[in-house]
Structure 1
Amino acid sequence: MKVAKKALLGTALAGAMVVSAGFGTYSWFTDVKTANGTIDNGSLTLGMDTELFAHKNFAPSQMFVSEFKKIENTGSLDQILRASYTHSVDKASVKKYKVGYLAVKYAERPDGAVLKDIAMAYQKGFDKGVTNPVLPMGSAKSANSYEVEGGVLSEEQASAMKAQAANHEKTIHFGEGKFWKLKDNQNIEIMFFVKLLDSAGNEYQGAHYDAEFKVEAKQTDNGAEFGPEAGTEPTAE
Structure 2
Amino acid sequence: MGIKQKLGLGVASAALGLSLVGGGTYAYFNDTETSTNTFAAGTLDLSVDPEVIINVDNIKPGDWMNRTFKLNNDGSLDISRVLLTTDYSVTDAGGDNIDDMGKHIRVNFLQNIDKSGIVQPNDIIYSTTLHDLKGTAPDAVQKKIWSFFGENSGLKTGTSDNFYVQFEFVDNQDDQNEFQGDSLSLEWTFEAKQTDGERR
Fold equivalence (TM over 0.5):
yes
Tell me if structure 1 keeps the 8 A contact 2:69–2:164.
yes
Structure 1's 65 and 28: CA in aligned 2 closer, same or farther, altered over 3 A? Answer: same
> Shift in Å at residue 32 of structure 1?
4.7
Partners of 2:140 and 2:127 lie apart in 1 by: 11
Partners of 2:44 and 2:140 lie apart in 1 by: 21
Name the structure where strand makes up a greater proportion of residues: 2
> Shift in Å at residue 65 of structure 1?
1.3
Q: Return the TM-score normalized by structure 2.
A: 0.60
Q: Per the alignment, in what secondary structure is the counterpart of residue 162 of structure 2? A: strand
Which residue of structure 2 lines up, in the alignment, with residue 51 of structure 1? 52
Tell me if structure 1 keeps the 8 A contact 2:85–2:190.
yes
Question: 1:186 aligned to 2:159?
Answer: yes
Q: Per the alignment, in what secondary structure is the counterpart of residue 52 of structure 1? A: coil
Q: What is the percentage of aligned positions where both structures have the same residue?
A: 24
Partners of 1:89 and 1:191 lie apart in 2 by: 24
Structure 1's 51 and 175: CA in aligned 2 closer, same or farther, altered over 3 A? Answer: closer
Which residue of structure 1 lines up, in the alignment, with residue 104 of structure 2? 96
The 5-angstrom pairing of residues 56-67 of structure 1 reads 56-66=57-67
Partners of 1:86 and 1:161 lie apart in 2 by: 8
> Shift in Å at residue 31 of structure 1?
4.9
Partners of 2:61 and 2:117 lie apart in 1 by: 30
> Shift in Å at residue 159 of structure 1?
3.4
Partners of 1:185 and 1:105 lie apart in 2 by: 14
Tell me if structure 2 keeps the 8 A contact 1:105–1:148.
no
Count of residues paired in the alignment? 150
Which residue of structure 2 lines up, in the alignment, with residue 124 of structure 1? none
Partners of 1:57 and 1:90 lie apart in 2 by: 14
Partners of 2:29 and 2:137 lie apart in 1 by: 70
Question: 1:215 aligned to 2:196?
Answer: no
> Shift in Å at residue 214 of structure 1?
0.9
Q: Per the alignment, in what secondary structure is the counterpart of residue 137 of structure 1? A: coil
Which residue of structure 2 lines up, in the alignment, with residue 75 of structure 1? 75
Name the structure where helix makes up a greater proportion of residues: 1
What amino acid is aligned across from residue 110 of structure 2 in structure 1?
A: Y
**CA offsets per residue over residues 35-78 of structure 1, 9 Å max, x none?**
33222221111112432211111112211112x22211111111
Show structure 2 runs of 5+ residues with no match: 1-26, 93-98, 144-151
Tell me if structure 2 keeps the 8 A contact 1:78–1:181.
yes
Show structure 1 runs of 5+ residues with no match: 1-26, 107-134, 139-146, 165-170, 223-237
Structure 1's 84 and 28: CA in aligned 2 closer, same or farther, altered over 3 A? Answer: closer
Name the Cα RMSD after superposition.
3.2
Question: 1:105 aligned to 2:121?
Answer: no
What amino acid is aligned across from residue 181 of structure 2 in structure 1?
A: G
Tell me if structure 2 keeps the 8 A contact 1:105–1:186.
no
Q: Return the TM-score normalized by structure 1.
A: 0.52
Q: Which moved more, 1:211-220 or 1:194-203?
A: 194-203
